[in-house]
Chain A
Amino acid sequence: DAGITQSPRHKVTETGTPVTLRCHQTENHRYMYWYRQDPGHGLRLIHYSYGVKDTDKGEVSDGYSVSRSKTEDFLLTLESATSSQTSVYFCAISEGGAATAQYFGPGTRLTVT
């Protein structure tokens, strides 16, 4: 299995609070991705990174920001959490971009009350 960890694995937070999710990889892959998965919507891309300090928006980026200061870490921040951001968040990595295999982390279940 690819070495990807996500932390925390579960979190409950209140509306309006900031939240940061961490993705850590030990594979030295260049590309990293954040997705959210919701019933009826499937997996949707939030942000992705194609190198250290190189990031771009995905399909559902509003309300989210990311940072990648090291190859191994990709952080997803919800500046002011809303109930619509209750979801399961997955981090993924790939060696050569989208056309190559993506390896997913175990997910973080976030509940915003």
Chain B
Amino acid sequence: TQLLEQSPQFLSIQEGENLTVYCNSSSVFSSLQWYRQEPGEGPVLLVTVVTGGEVKKLKRLTFQFGDARKDSSLHITAAQPGDTGLYLCAGVGNSGYALNFGKGTSLLVTP
């Protein structure tokens, strides 16, 4: 199994602060996906990064795929309470059919 390590595990910040969460692996992935999960719901896809070095922006969220395609980061600018949730990264496993998920970063943004 290709492991994805996410850090930090927990993050509690105040509204307006910036933050970065990380997704690292010793394996190369053809692509990585980022999901956000709110309590009591299933994960929802935010973005897919495919090319090494790629940067994608989704409003205040910036996603980066490492040059070697082994790691990725998610930066949130001026966090809002609505950003609260569990952020998961996932990469295609060796089977090619299924995703391997990291354990996630649990983010709490307080007003």
Chain A interface residues (CB < 8 Å from chain B): 31, 33, 35, 40-45, 48, 50, 56, 58-59, 90, 92, 97-99, 101-107
Whether the Cβ atoms of B88 and A42 lie closer than 8 Å is: yes
Q: Interface size of B by Cβ–Cβ distance < 8 Å? A: 25
B15: shortest Cβ distance to chain A, in Å? 27
Select one of A35, A40, A92, A103 contacting B103, CB under 8 A: A40
Instruction: Classify the secondary structure of B's interface with A.
Output: loop
A94: shortest Cβ distance to chain B, in Å? 9
Chain B interface residues (CB < 8 Å from chain A): 1, 30-31, 33, 40-45, 48, 88, 90, 92-93, 95-104
B105: shortest Cβ distance to chain A, in Å? 11
Nearest B residue to A39, CB-CB: B103
On whether A90 and B33 interact (CB within 8 A), knowing A50-B97, A98-B98, the answer reads: no
On whether A98 and B101 interact (CB within 8 A), knowing A42-B88, A59-B1, A92-B42, the answer reads: no
